[in-house]
Structure 1
Amino acid sequence: MHRNLDLLLTAIAPAIWGSTYLVTTELLPPGYPLTVAVLRALPAGLLLLLVVRKLPRGIWWSRVLVLGALNFSIFWAMLFVSAYRLPGGVAATVGAIQPLIVILLARLLLGTTLRLAAIAAAIVGIGGVALLILTPHAALDPIGIAAGLAGALSMAFGTVLTRKWQPPVSPLAFTAWQLTAGGLLLLPVALWFEPALPPLTGANLAGLAYLGLIGAALTYILWFRGIARLGPATVSPLGFLSPLTAVVLGWWWLGQTLSPAQMLGMAIVLASIWFGQRAQQAAAPGELAPASRR
């Protein structure tokens, strides 16, 4: 029962991330992806720091910088490069390889048992995402593909290391540290590559508040909590919910049509998540022991 509740709470995070595209296109000024990423991470991280009033100590300074770079700075930067150079469907399909990478990295870095059923479910999930959002006329750009793979690899390493390095603090504090570190590392990049933002409207401020407070602070607290309790190989396939939510919101809010292939893709994505969880549920009890070090 507790496991199902943990899965449900963790699944809220990628479901909310699926709304990022809608909020960005409808409420934010176009052409400032890195600046928006900074404003999404840094204010939320600083606000959480004010709440927890706890800073890293000793080795945790370097670990938090590494995790902030992997989970936010590098991941978001590569995500935006791939999104700009590739059609959305191609970029999302390339990024969908992340759960497969996580399964392999969890074996290498955590000693998690490698389950063929979980690998098969991840591959099926990638196919489901492709059906969901990939168009027949999608163009392939080598730099965009490389950036998408780099982003997936960065987030995969961040997910596994988040599990490996469990700090003696709450998920709230751990999220505050990583968001702040990621935002600070992105700040000079955004200042260098992008012009200053234009005067912000009420809609712009509402969009930024949503992405920061809900799309970053709340979701990553749930995501990191799920990694600690369930393990990266169990949590990562839930990321397939993000493109699924994006398509559903496009249909519901923007009036976009759903093709038979997309509806089949939805069914395949949901099935892959279910089968992936079933495969991971067979984990030996000792495999999740590190989560208790909090």
Structure 2
Amino acid sequence: MKRHADLLITALAPAIWGSTYVVTTLMLPADYPLTMAMLRALPAGLLLLLLVRQLPRGRWWARIFLLGALNFSLFWAMLFVAAYRLPGGVAATLGAIQPLFVILLARLALGSPIRPLALLGSMAGMLGVALLVLTPQATLDPLGVAAGLAGAASMALGTVLSRRWQPPTTALTFTAWQLVAGGLLLLPAALLLEPEPPSMDALNVAGIAYLGLIGAALTYIIWFRGVARLEPAAVSSLGFLSPLSAVVLGWLLLEQSLSPAQLLGMAIVVGSVWLSQLPQPSPAAALPAARP
């Protein structure tokens, strides 16, 4: 029962992340990906830091900046590059390979066993996401494909290392440290690579506030809590709920239609998440009992 509660709570994070696409489309200025990513991370991180009033110590400074780069700076930068150079369906499908990366990296870094059900669930989830978001007109750009794979690998490694390096503090403080680190790393890139953003109206400010406080601070507190309590493969498979949530919100708020293939993709995504959570029987339990 406790594990089920942890799964349901952790699943809230990717479900909320699915709203990022709608909020970005309706509320944010276009063509400022690094600036918007920095504004999403840094103010929310500083606000949380004021609440916790605690800084890393010793080797945790290096770890926090590495995790901030993997989970926020590099991941969000590559995500935006892929989104700009690829159709949304292709970018989302490339991002869906993250659970496979997590399974492999967890085996290498944590010694976690590769569970066949989790592996099957990850591959089924990729198929479901492809049915949800891919279109026949989708085209491939080599740089965009590389960015999509790099972003998935970055978040996967950040998830595994967040599990391996259990912080000597709460999930709230852990999230605050990483948001500040990720935002500080994005700041020079935004200033050097993008023009000065236009003046923000009330709608833009509300969109940034939502993405920072809800889409970053709250959701990553939930996410890192789940990473600390659940196995990495189980947590990463919940990420399939993000494109599912995005499609549902697009249908509800943007009046986008749903095709039969998308409805099938929804069912496959839900099934893949369920399959990835099933316990794998131990080899001893799988063998019939020997007769005396």
* TM-score calculated relative to the size of structure 2: 0.95
SS at match of 1:31: coil
Provide the C-alpha distance between the structure 1 equivalents of 2:238 and 2:169, rounded to a whole number of angstroms: 25
SS at match of 2:31: coil
Q: Which amino acid is 1:13 matched to?
A: A
Query: By how many angstroms is 1:283 displaced?
Result: 8.1
Q: State the percentage of identical aligned residues.
A: 70
- Deviation string for 1:91-111 (max 9, x for gaps)? 000010000110111111001
Query: By how many angstroms is 1:279 displaced?
Result: 4.0
1:62 corresponding residue in structure 2: 62
1:15 corresponding residue in structure 2: 15
Q: After the TM superposition, which residues 246-285 of structure 1 pair with which residues of structure 2 at under 5 Å, given as runs?
A: 246-279=246-279
Provide the C-alpha distance between the structure 1 equivalents of 2:164 and 2:170, rounded to a whole number of angstroms: 15
2:143 corresponding residue in structure 1: 143
Query: By how many angstroms is 1:25 displaced?
Result: 0.7
Q: Which amino acid is 2:69 matched to?
A: A
Do 1:113 and 1:283's aligned partners in 2 also have CA atoms closer than 8 Å? Answer: no
1:201 corresponding residue in structure 2: 201
Distance change (3 Å), C-alpha of 1:283 and 1:228:
farther
SS at match of 2:137: coil
Distance change (3 Å), C-alpha of 1:205 and 1:283:
farther
2:227 corresponding residue in structure 1: 227
> Is residue 105 of structure 1 aligned with residue 105 of structure 2?
yes
Q: Which amino acid is 2:42 matched to?
A: L
Query: By how many angstroms is 1:231 displaced?
Result: 2.2
Q: After the TM superposition, which residues 102-141 of structure 1 pair with which residues of structure 2 at under 5 Å, given as runs?
A: 102-141=102-141
- Deviation string for 1:122-156 (max 9, x for gaps)? 00100000000000110000100000000000000
Query: By how many angstroms is 1:174 displaced?
Result: 0.3
- RMSD of aligned Cα (Å): 1.1
Query: By how many angstroms is 1:117 displaced?
Result: 1.5
Provide the C-alpha distance between the structure 1 equivalents of 2:282 and 2:74, rounded to a whole number of angstroms: 31
The ranges of structure 1 where at least 4 consecutive aligned residues each deviate by more than 6 angstroms after the TM superposition are: none
Q: Which amino acid is 1:236 matched to?
A: S
Do 1:118 and 1:279's aligned partners in 2 also have CA atoms closer than 8 Å? Answer: no
Q: Which amino acid is 1:51 matched to?
A: L
Provide the C-alpha distance between the structure 2 equivalents of 1:9 and 1:48, rounded to a whole number of angstroms: 20
SS at match of 1:114: coil
Provide the C-alpha distance between the structure 1 equivalents of 2:199 and 2:80, rounded to a whole number of angstroms: 23
Distance change (3 Å), C-alpha of 1:162 and 1:46:
same
| Unaligned segments of structure 2, at least 5 residues | 284-292
Provide the C-alpha distance between the structure 2 equivalents of 1:125 and 1:235, rounded to a whole number of angstroms: 13
Provide the C-alpha distance between the structure 1 equivalents of 2:34 and 2:9, rounded to a whole number of angstroms: 28
* TM-score calculated relative to the size of structure 1: 0.95
Q: Which amino acid is 1:105 matched to?
A: L
Q: Which amino acid is 2:270 matched to?
A: L
SS at match of 2:278: helix
